[in-house]
Amino acid sequence: MKLLEERIQKDGIVKAGNVLKVDSFLNHQMDIDLFNAMGKEFKRLFGTVGINKIITIEASGIGIACIAAQYFGVPVVFAKKSQSVNIDGEVYSTQIESFTHKQVYNVIVSKKYLSPNDNVLIIDDFLANGCAMNGLLDIVRSAGATVAGIGIAIEKGFQKGGETLRAQGYRVESLAIVDAMNDETGEIIFRTQG
């Protein structure tokens, strides 16, 4: 998506350790005009596959998912990061290792909000090694719900998440795919998408 690529090129900052900072428009301050354009694009990509729910994970996925949901007319459920392992059986839970914080989180979704009747679109801000997405997939599978697709704002194509998920048969649509970036020169190279 040209608009997102241009914005990353203009305002994204390449940090050491393969981290792309996009705090000025996506991860901290949020550019709602851009989010609307992204939401419309997700709707164009996934609008015909009968999605009835969007799933994401707190915190950065929520804004993107909510704006996208307005175009689908469906609710958003966000997986919560939880301190404790829940043992009362009322939630689906899994563990996710954070790429940016190098920490393992317990993540939960209440059983009330996800069921075998759901056909879900999973949305997140970044796809890197796929740990966050694998956790969300684990939760959706535990609920017996169907994964209609995975929508990502920024995929880092030089990390293995996207390739692995596509090889597993998931439809992964990333609005921008960064194939290379250099923290010394600040250069960012995008994959050409059809």
Number of Cβ within 10 Å of residue 77's Cβ equals 21
**Nearest in space to 34 (alpha carbons), one of 12, 56, 19:** 12
Per CB under 6 A, contacts with ligand 5GP among 151-180 are 156, 161
Is 99 a binding residue for ligand 5GP by CB under 6 A? The answer is yes
Q: Which stretch binds ligand 5GP (CB under 6 A): 19-27, 42-50, 142-150, 182-190?
A: 19-27
Calpha distance 190→184 (Å, rounded): 17
118-137 footprint of ligand 5GP as x/- string (CB under 6 A)? ------xxxxxxxxxx----
The DSSP element (H or E) to which 4 belongs, if any, is helix 2-11
What is the smallest separation between the CB atom of 128 and ligand 5GP, expressed in angstroms? Answer: 3
What is the smallest separation between the CB atom of 125 and ligand 5GP, expressed in angstroms? Answer: 5
SS3 string of 100-145?
A: CCCCEEEEEEEHHHCCCCCEEEEEEEEECCCHHHHHHHHHHHHCCC
Is 148 a binding residue for ligand 5GP by CB under 6 A? The answer is no
The residues binding ligand 5GP (CB under 6 A) are 19-22, 27, 60, 99-100, 124-133, 156, 161
